[in-house]
Amino acid sequence: MSENSERSKAHVRLECDNEELMRRVRPHHAIAAKVGSRYGGVNNYVINSQSRTREEAEAIFDEVTQKWDSAKTMDRFVEFCILYLNDGEPYYMFPEYRPRTIEELDLSGVRRILGEIVKANKTVHAYLLTGPRGAGKTSTARVLARIVNCEQNSKKLGEPCNKCSACESILSGSALDVIEIDAASNRGIDDIRELKEKIRLAPAYLRTKVYIIDEVHMLTSEAFNALLKTLEEPPTHSLFILCTTELHKVPETIVSRCTQIQFTKATTEEMRRAFERVIKGEETTVEEGALEYLAKAVDGSFRDGVKILDQAISNSSNLMLQDLQEIVSGSRGYMIDKLLQAMIAKDGVLALFELNEGVQKGVDLSYLILSLMRGLRDKLIVGEVGGEIIKLIYSLDEVARKLATSLDAELLIQVAILEWCGGGVSKSQITNSPILKSESQSSDHSPKIALGSELKPQGEGKSAWMVMKEKIKSGKPIEQNPHSRKVADDQGDTIAEAMAIFSN
């Protein structure tokens, strides 16, 4: 073993024993702490992950170890962890704590189904995993890929060992015979034709060539037709695993040729089970009630829950309920409060302002819509709002369906808000708009509209949806439509001026 290899492992041990470093590096320390055992030292990992020569790897490591002796080493080592030990990408806990065996899968129903597959010692040619986002569909697909390719399962299926070369290559993402396709960005017929050509070839290293197609509902009709032929006559050495959050968009001809595995929304106990695996791995103490609160806050999404844990644990090794509450409320709490109240009051300007605030904070728009719908439902049940709110819930549900394919998701929500508020945007509301006030304090002091003048509709006085439909029918690009952002709503002339404020 070379001197540098010895030094790299010693460096890893030093990282694990240094409390100050552990505190500063979190949540990145998990990478460095496991480099020695998993990749045989920092140098080897740099070579494997970055395709560097040993000389380049040793030069990188020498730079880090030299700075380790100085007072500024801490920050440099954090940078090293992120850039060199993780292929230049920021490190997140979620991939580190993905389930790796059937037993680690958090949904009890899915564990049972995969257990039956192993017990029967037989797999079908195609599986369709359906369920909500963050439920573990992709993680399950990867577990299944290792089950059928594990070297210990050559005669009888069982739990993947995660130690053989086949399992390790799949875990690291380097397996040539396990192909993951994002249907959202590879949705055309040419992509599926390329898949059909390659699927006929025998696996390069593994027993079974596995295709994992995520968000399969995003494929075009032509692509689905091409995929159908492959599913009807699949090669014996292939396995297809299709994943989707919107089963209703997958053609029945595709569904009928797959064995469906339904992922339900996780229970509080299942969520807690997943979080405890992270807590144990990070050696963190937890305040009573914190995990239960987080499980309810993320609404069944394992991925969202671990991301919040990532943020909370990076600040402290003690996970407190208050810390989680601050993180959750800081990113999402406003939607069920200020935005919800503004929409109930039909205050379009304030509602658009609160929406803009949320977008600036990076709030997930799909989660925003879901939160609004549930908040409205709760208020409807207790009698705080009238039956007309049902129309708004249906409108938001329609927006939610269009979000995945929209080029401007925020615009969809803006239009829905304005259509609901109708003519309820008054001159005084526009004058007192928080956004207008903030703009007046900026370097550009010219107002977006003449507030003292009479509000009149922009363009032809047609709704955004009508203008878009006409452009589509005429074959003209929507981008050339001068009224696509500044239009008057059919329900009130004042809406056009309100839109003008927020579209510039």
Query: What is the C-alpha separation between 16 and 10, in angstroms, rounded?
Result: 10
Which CATH number characterizes residue 296's domain? 1.10.8.60
How much is the pTM? 0.55
Same structural domain, 234 and 282: no
Please indicate, yes or no, if residue 476 is contained in any of the structural domains: yes
Whether 102 is in a domain gets the answer no
Do the Cβ atoms of 47 and 53 come closer than 8 Å? yes
Same domain? 350 vs 495: yes
One domain for residues 316 and 177: no
Q: What is the pLDDT of residue 188?
A: 73
Q: For position 240, which CATH number holds?
A: 3.40.50.300
List, for residues 184-214, the tens digit of each pLDDT value: 776 677 777 788 778 888 888 899 999 999 8
Structure tokens at 462: 């047609």
Q: How many domains does the structure of the chain reveal?
A: 4
- Domain boundary among the residues 90, 123, 146 is at 90
Phi, psi at 52, each rounded to 5°: -95, 160
- Residue 47 confidence (pLDDT): 38
pLDDT exceeds cutoff 60 at 464: no
Same-domain status, 306 and 160 = no
Q: Do residue 429 and residue 371 come from a single domain?
A: yes
Residue 245 lies in a domain: yes
Question: Are residues 274 and 254 part of one domain?
Answer: no
Residues 382, 407 share a domain: yes
pLDDT of residue 355: 83
Average pLDDT over residues 260-277: 88
Does the residue 203 lie in any domain? yes
Residue 342 is assigned to a structural domain of this protein: yes
Q: Which of 229, 262, 295 is the last residue of a domain?
A: 262
* Whether pLDDT at 372 is above 80: yes
Single-letter amino acid, residue 184: A
Residue 241 has pLDDT above 90, yes or no: yes
Neighbours of 345 (CB within 10 A): 12
* Whether residues 480 and 414 fall in one domain: yes
d(CA 133, CA 453): 48
**Distances 172 to 45, 98, 397, 420 between C-alpha atoms, Å:** 11, 12, 39, 49
Residues 476-503 pLDDT 10s: 444 433 333 333 333 333 344 444 444 4
